[in-house]
Structure 1
Amino acid sequence: MSAKKVLICGDAQGNIKQVFDKVKELNSGKAGPFHVLFICGFWGSDREKAEEQLAEYKSGEDTLPLPVFFVDELNKDKDEPVCPKLTALGSGGVRLIEGFQVAYANSRGKNSQIVSLLARDASSEILNGADVLLTTKWPEGIRDDGSDDTSSDVTELTQQVKPRYHFTSRGEEYFDKGAYRNTPGTNADLTRFYSLASAFSKAKFINALSIPPISTIDMEYINNQLKGDTPPDAPFTTKAAPKKATKKHEEEFEKIEKEQDKGYARWGEQTKRQAAAAPQQEDKSRQQKKARGTCWFCLGEDGAEHHLVASIGEHLYMALPKGPINQDHVLIIPINHVHQQQLGRAGEQELERYKEALKKCYQDKGMDVIFFEMRGIHHCNINAVGVSRKVVEQAEEAFISSAKRIGYRLSKMNGRETILDYVPNHDEPYFYLELPDARYIYHGSSFPFQFAREVMVYLLGLGGEVIDWRNCQVVKDVETKHVEEFKRKFKSYDFNL
């Protein structure tokens, strides 16, 4: 395992230049260099004065020696770069930073909303949990000192996230709680709580730690660190945070179909092939449509958003999704309302042609493609996300460990196996993953609907808000522009032209 050196600073209180000068000194000293600096509190009471101190860093007259990330009550809701190597973390989320999964939250407004977001993004249901939690408040119950300057919401958040390290800052005091158990009787999810004093107090305001990312350690490492000691259980006196109920797969899709019934159709352009269908086929189609409700992916629905369609073949078409994960995210979708197992030989061959065309398109730009499908709704749609080769190197382990963490095992498929070999009944749900060098499948009645998107967001180091596609929507004019840009990029690879 490879530990990384981390610096943590208490509330800078607007003394930005002084803090950065101190960090430069430490980074160039015997203990350095360090990989990253986290700051718990930044702007102080005079935001304008603090901004003035950043001018030379924004202009390039001075530079930071390492990446710096900070939480503060005045930060905006979303992560925001301030200047090179300096990032203001938003009001709540999860972000991959220097190999660490970092959860963070300030206490603006109702913390319950932030807790809900972080519980979804950073709880034990995502990868291996959080390495670090950064907050602007102490959790209520961490120490029985009668202080009102604590937050029960942060307590709930801590209990849900179970971070290995929890950093915050309060006043001119340094407080090291030491390790405690989040789950009685086991050392598997220990948390160490540190509260740094405000900058340049008499108490300790900068801490240096050497931390291996949680994805690289095991129980042997944890037990060796304890040296035979038995940590106490969590000190919190508040009611334990409720466990998030696991929704059954069928319930999730029932909800989706209810939304579809409200008329949230995503596609609706009727192709010439469909328009030329025989009257009896149209009657059958009407009956099927009436039975299933509105489908997001059928090209024959009313209220179509056909401006998202980028390529149309004989059996499938390709479109950009609403709320994409990144700018290289596209969908491959059958023209007919079918599952992947119902494509037939010609449809399967065309699907492979689309995949190969996308691979070639992205490979020529130094990228690779990750394909995945969550079979649950009644119209096959295969996600294709273009990513860097560095992301691909991490993807296999990330998907496997993420699934294992929430109690699922992905089965590796050999070169000849198909989805039909695992799921012969097209009405049964499954999750399918295709990496450049491996394919995996899970076949079962229950699987988290957003699993793949959550893992992709983690791998790409994006903010937690990207997990919900609705947060990534743009206006129609921008969508149209993105489609035209993709068409130009894909034109020489599109076998339908």
Structure 2
Amino acid sequence: SYRAVSRRLACGDVEGRLEAIFGRVRAIQAKSGRFDMLLCVGNFFSSTSEAEWAEYRTGAKKAPIPTYVLGANSPDTLSYFPDVSGCELAENITYLGRRGVYSGCSGLQIAYLSGTEAQQQPEPAHCFSTKDVAELKTSLLATPNFRGVDILLTSPWPRDVGTFANSTGEVDTKKCGSRLVADLAASLKPRYHFAALEKTYYERLPYRNHMVLQETPQHVTRFIALADVGNTSKKKYLYAFSIVPMSSMDPAELVKQPQDVTENPYRKLRKEAPKSKAPLSAEEEPACQFFFDLNKHQGRKRPSEGKERGDSQPKQAKKPPQPTGPCWFCLASPEVEKHLVVSIGTH
């Protein structure tokens, strides 16, 4: 319904430039009408933002829009976030927390993960670990009929997001970004994924969350990286969008595929994940993403099959995956894509 549409703003690294971002938001709202919230990814504070922040913290100034921010990405801004689980920092400015899901009254689901990927154990306070990502995934994937989240907020880019995509400019996504964020995005299937930290703007072509002809069509994901607020290169740091919560949408409308949709950039990464230093647990292996019961069933049967065959026998070759959806090229199918048929032969 019309009422379910919400208008959001997302912005990149504010780095303490509160007057700049809130001034811009005021100007946009004066021109285009009210937005429901501002979502900030990347560094909201910098080590030198104390004077400007004090005016908001004390209430001398107020944010013009409900503003939701991610936590610290470096040790020198940790002190701005007194409660690790999330809290109000000032009127209209809320720290979401270390990780979790925020659901507003509109029904919109916003998953978030604060910090950068830990490179050591135990992880520093401004970093997230494999465990953080696994727990966030588990909490959502366990919900009945989980199809994905509306929005995912992370500070780092996901590793390999540039695969099958339009150019990412100077950012090499094979080396830059977080593997854990890529794994999270692949599992949570957000409709929008916002990130920052690279000081550039990049709007990726939308990508699929299903394998064509093998899985039921699902909604696409749009990844958008935003630049830092007030950057001198005039790179885009504020993104306005309207969104209807997934829960309120007609399923057919939700899964419509835009013409410029690409393959999922994370498939290869997820296939390699079990070989990496921090393997995913059995429940989180990519193959289980859609076929939980199928894999559990196989898991129980394997030992007995092994006994019957005898360990000396070579393993049977895996059969290629069978399509689970309707065949788009069968002329008897009501879903036949006739415009893709070039000619019909007999044999």
CA offsets, 1:41-100, max 9 Å, x none? 234441xx3233232223333222221101132455311110111111212111113521
CA distance in 1, matches of 2:104, 2:198: 27
- Aligned equivalent of 1:88: 95
Q: CA 1:147 to 1:141, structure 2 compared with 1: closer, same or farther past 3 Å?
A: closer
CA distance in 1, matches of 2:22, 2:194: 19
Aligned-pair Cα RMSD in Å: 2.5
CA distance in 2, matches of 1:14, 1:88: 14
CA offsets, 1:130-178, max 9 Å, x none? 1110001111110152553311110111111111110011333111112
Structure with more of its chain in helix, by fraction: 1
- Cα offset, 1:27, TM superposition: 1.8
Pick from 99, 102, 111 the counterpart of residue 103 of structure 1: 111
Q: Is residue 197 of structure 2 the alignment partner of residue 180 of structure 1?
A: no
Q: CA 1:187 to 1:200, structure 2 compared with 1: closer, same or farther past 3 Å?
A: farther
Aligned residues: 243
* Structure 1 segment 217-296 matched on structure 2, within 5 A: 217-222=249-254, 226=257, 229=259, 231-236=261-266, 237-240=268-271, 242=285, 243=288
Q: Is the 8 A contact 2:130 2:180 kept in 1?
A: yes
SS at match of 1:234: coil
CA offsets, 1:408-455, max 9 Å, x none? xxxxxxxxxxxxxxxxxxxxxxxxxxxxxxxxxxxxxxxxxxxxxxxx
Q: Is the 8 A contact 1:128 1:215 kept in 2?
A: no
- Aligned equivalent of 1:62: 61
Q: CA 1:77 to 1:60, structure 2 compared with 1: closer, same or farther past 3 Å?
A: closer
Q: Is the 8 A contact 2:206 2:260 kept in 1?
A: no
Structure with more relative contact order (C-alpha pairs < 8 Å, separation 6 or more): 2
- Cα offset, 1:192, TM superposition: 0.8
CA distance in 2, matches of 1:13, 1:78: 21
Q: Is the 8 A contact 1:92 1:117 kept in 2?
A: no
SS at match of 1:18: helix
Q: Is residue 45 of structure 2 the alignment partner of residue 50 of structure 1?
A: no
Of all paired residues, the percent bearing the same amino acid is: 28
SS at match of 1:190: coil
- Aligned equivalent of 1:13: 15
Q: Is the 8 A contact 2:218 2:255 kept in 1?
A: no
Pick from 7, 26, 29 the counterpart of residue 28 of structure 2: 26
- Aligned equivalent of 1:189: 219
CA distance in 1, matches of 2:44, 2:240: 22
SS at match of 2:204: strand
Q: CA 1:4 to 1:22, structure 2 compared with 1: closer, same or farther past 3 Å?
A: same
Q: Is residue 68 of structure 2 the alignment partner of residue 36 of structure 1?
A: no
Q: Is the 8 A contact 1:43 1:50 kept in 2?
A: no
CA distance in 2, matches of 1:38, 1:146: 23
For the pair shown, which has the larger CA radius of gyration, 1 or 2?
1
Structure with more of its chain in strand, by fraction: 1
CA distance in 2, matches of 1:81, 1:128: 30
- Aligned equivalent of 1:319: none
TM-score normalised to structure 1 length: 0.45
CA distance in 2, matches of 1:176, 1:239: 22
Pick from 134, 140, 159 the counterpart of residue 140 of structure 1: 159
- Aligned equivalent of 2:188: 161
Q: Is residue 243 of structure 2 the alignment partner of residue 211 of structure 1?
A: yes
Worse overlay, 186-195 or 6-15: 186-195
Could you tell me which amino acid in structure 2 is paired with residue 123 of structure 1?
L
- Cα offset, 1:128, TM superposition: 4.9
* Structure 1 segment 255-404 matched on structure 2, within 5 A: none
Q: CA 1:146 to 1:79, structure 2 compared with 1: closer, same or farther past 3 Å?
A: closer
CA distance in 2, matches of 1:239, 1:44: 33
Q: CA 1:184 to 1:109, structure 2 compared with 1: closer, same or farther past 3 Å?
A: same
SS at match of 1:138: coil
